[in-house]
Amino acid sequence: MFDQEEKGFFDAFKPKTAFIIGLITGLLALCTLGFFILLSKEIKGGSLTVKNNNQPSANTNINGNNVVQPDANSGQPVNITITNSDHILGNKNAQVKLVEYSDFQCPFCGAFQSTVQQVLKDYGNKIALVYRHFPLDSLHPNARPAAEASECVFEQKGDEGFFKFSDSLYANQDKLGTDYYKQLAQGMSLIMNKFNDCVSSGKYKQKVEDQYQSGLTYGVNGTPGNFVNGVSVKGAVPLSNLKQIIDSALNKS
């Protein structure tokens, strides 16, 4: 009974029908393989990359400040102006500024937050985090709405509230959406009608876009896109690597 050879799937069809089914199956397999090859090219070195054919010009006005696009091959630090609209965690007068262009739905950005928290703890008043939005719309449709909602939290609770809200978004990326933002806002005792009006009106749409465009201007093409005193650090680098870069910046300051 158990010596019987199992019949193959295609044996049940006529030769012509089996050939057509086999051809279609082969084409579908090739398309699937091609998709994953393209996707792998978009995910590099612990960061998600974005392609943009509408790069801003070399001199772009961001919040009233002229910034200059760096030479991608120069390896030289860029001069990033910190403004009053930036979100800063840590000592605002720190020797080292870690500017992070990030996306609330990006898994690499979420994983990188523990590294950021650790360097803030280890270096104390010597370092500060400057957070800027860089939503990758084509990959993360919830990133931009989350960024705008975070600005509405900042409006009522300042940087302390902003970073508390941000931590929750990173820790619960699978929950991103309007209902979750409202749930967090209620838990933080925000004035809800004011928060809801702020979110629905798109009040901070331009601020998020300005920060995204400034990132492009500085050469950011993926998240997290970081700068340590103007030195580009791409991707969610390991803690040891980030510390080496910070130590080098401290020695130069």
Which is higher by pLDDT, 74 or 202? 202
Stretch 124-153: mean pLDDT:
98
Distance between CA atoms of residues 211 and 104, nearest Å: 14
* pLDDT (0 to 100) of residue 66: 30
pLDDT of residue 63: 33
> Amino acid identity, residue 99?
V
To the nearest 10 degrees (0 to 180), the angle between helices 239-252 and 107-123 is 50
pLDDT of residue 141: 97
Residue owning tokens 């609209």: 85
CATH number for the domain running over 68-252:
3.40.30.10
d(Cα 245, Cα 228) in Å, to the nearest integer? 7
Contacts 24+ apart (CB under 8 A), 77-86: 77/227, 77/229, 77/230, 77/231, 78/218, 78/219, 78/227, 78/230, 78/232, 79/230, 80/218, 80/227, 80/230, 82/130, 85/207, 86/130, 86/131, 86/132
Burial label, 204 (beta-carbon count in 10 A; 0-12, 13-18, 19+): buried
Alpha-carbon radius of gyration of the chain: 24
Whether pLDDT at 113 is above 80: yes
Read off the pLDDT of residues 183-196 as tens digits, 9 standing for 90 and up. Answer: 999 999 999 999 99
pLDDT at 23: 57
**DSSP string of 50-114, one letter each residue:** ---S-PPPSEEEETTEEEEPPPTTT-----PPP-TTSEEEE-TT-SEEEEEEE-TT-HHHHHHHH
**Ramachandran bin of 117, using left for φ above 0, alpha for ψ from -120 to 50, beta for the remaining angles:** alpha
Query: pLDDT category, 76, cuts 50, 70, 90?
Result: confident
Cis ω for the linkage preceding 70 (within 30 of 0):
no
Which helix (DSSP H) or strand (DSSP E) does residue 170 occupy?
helix 143-171
Q: For residues 106 and 224, is the Cβ–Cβ distance under 8 A?
A: yes
Top mean-pLDDT range of 32-36, 44-48, 134-138 = 134-138
Residue 48 has pLDDT above 70, yes or no: no
The whole-number pLDDT of residue 50 equals 52
pLDDT score of 51 more than 60: no
Report how far residue 183's alpha carbon sits from residue 204's, in angstroms, rounded to the nearest whole number. Answer: 20
